Chain A
Amino acid sequence: MTRAYAVARAADAVDAAAANGPDCLTVVCNGMIGRELYAHADTPSRFYMIGSMGLASSIGLGLAIVQPARTVVVFDGDGNVLMNMGTLGSVAAAAPANFYHIVFDNAAHGSTGDQRTISDRVPLDAVARAAGYRSVVRVRDEHALAGALQSWFSTRGPAMLVVDVERGNQPGIGRVDPSPTELTARFRARATLKTHSA
């Protein structure tokens, strides 16, 4: 399956999970995954990284720890996970039950022309499992992805879903429009703790 297809289905599942409650807070890594998510369905509760490769998972961890009542989803790529692999341990140790990590794995750096990564020889699902994620699943086709997404947000986090996707980019795909400061402002308005005096 293409990465754009998998990103779109994951986004639909995130939005469906939030249908009867507050938004899921989604942090998206830099590169093509963010552009594909933005092109498919943008909302202010999605925070797109255009730089700081690797850091989406750390941002998601910070959010999940201080906002235990909200569902936090990280859209990540294999290159991003490999760059900040230590955070898999930090996530597992902090063990936020509301942390959902979806990794689109094509064993390549898509934005720069599909140069190989090492995730074909270093299976990221095995790494996350060894680090101590409570739930780790890898899916390889559309049918398995649909099945996994159906119940994923009711599993207890930290959870990782690795999705094997094809290499290649959608020609002519746009960039994430809002500026970084706009992204910060609009996401913060959705994510800020609502404090009610007791």
Chain B
Amino acid sequence: MSPVSTTSSRVIYDALKACGIRLMSALPETWLVHLIRMAEDDPEMILVRLAKEEEGVGISAGAHLAGVKSAMLMQNHGLLASINGIVSCAQLYRIPLLMLVSYRGELGERDPWQTEGGGVTEDILRALRIPFVMLEQPDHVAQRIADAQTLALASNKPVALLLRRGLMIEEDGAGRAGGAGR
């Protein structure tokens, strides 16, 4: 039984579809399992499974060059693993990049291995000059995803949406969405 919210995942997924997203690249983590399954089950969505998140920058660049809208789905540690691709491909070549990033390591995090990345995520985004917004409540998800996509396409640059604990985890605010090793 996963404490990850299916309801919130569905709201996020539907918002991505409403933005015209046709391809998603993903590397799984616990908070993203429902979103990845939804993409898997959707015949209208192309799901590309990655070995490392930086590949997703290239795949989104390829999709954009062919006129197809895409999104990247990853953990904040995957964002850290993607940085040169973001800077030297997406930003240098002016590629819009819609990045959905699960924000692990915030207050309430119980997994020690998530805490370091959590502490630097926002500073990294600021240093990279990537505009970002939090997804915290189901009722603002659709608008914020649409706004992020609008800005990404208007600026031809990366934009990040940070998926927070309160949105992704159901009823257990103390954060039991640990994964392996507990």
Contact = CB atoms under 8 A, between A and B. Distances in A.
Nearest to A54: B54
Interface residues on A, range: 35 or more
B140 interface: no
B73 to A, nearest CB: 15
A62 B60 contact: yes
A67 interface: yes
A51 B50 contact: no
A184 B67 contact: no
A95 to B, nearest CB: 12
A55 B92 contact: no
A59 B66 contact: no
A93 B49 contact: yes
Contacts of B62: 27, 58-66
Contacts of B94: 180-181, 184
Contacts of B55: 55, 58, 61, 84, 86-87, 90
Contacts of B22: 66
Contacts of A193: 66-68
B58 interface: yes
B52 interface: yes
Contact of B65 (A47, A54, A180): A47
A94 B50 CA distance: 10
Most buried by A among B22, B51, B60: B51
A60 B84 CA distance: 18
B58 A62 contact: yes
11 contacts: A27-B62, A51-B87, A58-B56, A58-B58, A65-B59, A65-B62, A66-B66, A84-B55, A87-B55, A87-B58, A191-B65
Interface of B: 22-23, 46, 48-52, 54-68, 70, 84-85, 87-89, 92-95
Interface of A: 25, 27, 47, 49-67, 84, 86-87, 89-90, 93-94, 180-181, 183-184, 187-188, 191-193
